[in-house]
Amino acid sequence: MKVAVVVQRYGQAINGGAELHARYIAEHLARHGQVDVLTTCATDYVTWRNELQPGVETVNGVSVRRFRVKHERDPRVFGKRSDRVFEQRHSVGDELDWLDAEGPTSPALVDYVGKHAADYDFCLFFSYRYYHAYYGSRAAGDRAILVPTAERDATIGLSIFRPLFRSVRAVMYNSPEERAMIHAVSGNQSVPGVVVGIGSHVPNNPQPARFRQKYNIRGPFAIYVGRIDLNKGCKELFEFFQGYLKDPTGKLSLILIGNSLLPVPDHARIRHLGFLDDTDKFDAMAAADLLVMPSYYESLSMVALEAWALGRPVLANGKCDVLKGQCIRSNAGLYYETYAEFVGTLEAIEQNRWLAGSLGRNGRQYFKDQYDWPVIERKYLEMFERLKKEAPAAPDPLPGWLDRRRQDLRPAEEVIAALPKGPALHAPKHASPEPDGRRRA
């Protein structure tokens, strides 16, 4: 078996969600066959500047072939085109212009995929929203498998991606919510799909005491791991937690791990430790009483899965359908939408040891059943086997010259607003059976 993994960035130092996802999948599939990674020379997802050398290199035993990006992203042009397609009536041509402005625009990569797709059994395209996935999947033809890593943001409302979701051979979803959203927006129920997600390399014996000693942390604490950013809901988290701190009965502190783009409140019980390596990160998560995940938009949240793998309960933002659905399906986390719910759930986990322990046990079991690497690998291999037996469907034709210029497309934000919301707790009728049922402790 020979598989190509096509992703916008790739490398050990690149820790973006989709990129890490791609690397993990590539490295694990490499145990079952030959895997080539096709990517760009960029490392920065904002500028897409060519910072790595084009050519072939090996990363963790996986062959990586890099291609140059044709032009960097111009933030002004990108912002202007984003406003156009997200907020105004527009045409397919406007959306294609937006895609080009977004980057990483690498025609060389697409050309290579077109020429060498036949050399691979399947080409896995990560992140539907980028140039390489849109054009590369067409170039790969009936070998294209999409790992969309889609979130509930306006991009999913763009019309150019609907044919993409319908024309690939299969879609590997991260969550049932993502699948339901893509089904709703593109009507691709007939395309083979499976909720896979991703595993994580969680150490078997984390050292919470070592972490406490190293960072001089005492007492119970909640932990947040990730970029400290407005888009991740950290501002709301700070507001809510500062309100919680006024309650004298609450004993929890908040430990923040990750690079900060927001000012962290100056309080004795809120500590920002910065970016930590994996060892410290997992030790910290093992030492924590719970993980807080305040993000509004997540397609999977690997951090939440890692917390569950370590037997820690998760307190998630209930406005994020994926996180809420994960909490309900796993019975391993609580969720909040308001300040009162935040405090209520936080206190419930803090003051009820039995509840925290049960949630943690459920989380560990949920991770083991759904996101352990053998499970993930098996799902990919089964999908490959299935696709070998099934005939590919005919792809949607590209829009014509006139269609690309017709200004009849609704703003993407309107489209996304019209999509159904809420966690997907029931499997769709056309979906293939998969063991993602809800569990109880």
Give 35 or 332: the residue with its C-beta nearer to another protein.
Answer: 332
3-state DSSP call for residue 217? coil
Q: Applying CB under 8 A, which part among 85-93, 120-128, 266-274, 337-345 lies near another protein?
A: 337-345
Of 188, 301, 362, 365, the residue at the interface with another protein (CB under 8 A) is 362
Q: Which residues lie across from 157 on neighbouring strands?
A: none
Q: How far is the CB of 318 from another protein (least distance, A)?
A: 8
Measured in degrees and rounded to the nearest 5, phi and psi for residue 239 equal: -60, -45
Q: How far is the CB of 359 from another protein (least distance, A)?
A: 6
Q: Which of residues 240-269 bind another protein (CB under 8 A)?
A: 249
Q: SS3 of 111, please?
A: helix
Q: Report which of 262, 260, 332 is spatially closest to residue 291, judged by C-alpha positions.
A: 332
d(CA 98, CA 82): 6
**1 vs 355, beta carbon nearer another protein:** 355
Q: Shortest approach of another protein to residue 354 CB, angstroms?
A: 7
Strands of the sheet with 62-67, listed across from one edge:
55-59, 62-67, 34-40, 2-6, 122-126, 144-147, 170-173, 193-195
Using rule CB under 8 A, residue 441 touches another protein? yes
By CB under 8 A, what part of segment 151-210 binds another protein? none
Q: Looking at beta carbons only, is 50 or 330 nearer to another protein?
A: 330
Which region among 56-64, 75-83, 112-120, 356-364 touches another protein (by CB under 8 A)? 356-364
Q: Quote the CA–CA distance of 431 and 153 in Å, as a whole number.
A: 23
Determine the Cα–Cα distance for residues 137 and 191; give it in Å rounded to an integer: 14
Q: Which residue has the tokens 């709703």?
A: 184
CB of 304 to another protein, least distance (A): 13
Phi, psi of 319, rounded to the nearest 5 degrees: -75, -15
How are beta strands 62-67 and 55-59 bridged, if at all? antiparallel
> Among 5-13, 222-230, 341-349, 387-395, which window interacts with another protein (CB under 8 A)?
341-349
CB of 188 to another protein, least distance (A): 29
Kindly state the smallest distance separating residue 245's Cβ from another protein, in Å. 16
Parallel, antiparallel, or unpaired for β 122-126 and 62-67? Answer: unpaired
Task: Tell which one of 236, 341, 377, 413 touches another protein (CB under 8 A).
Answer: 341
335 lies in the site for another protein, by CB under 8 A: yes
- Tell me the site size for another protein, rule CB under 8 A: 24
**Measured CA distances, 349 to 149, 221, 233, 245, 270 (Å):** 30, 11, 20, 15, 18
Please report, as ranges, the residues that interact with another protein according to CB under 8 A: 249, 327-328, 331-335, 338, 340-341, 344-345, 347-348, 351-352, 354-355, 358-359, 362, 440-441
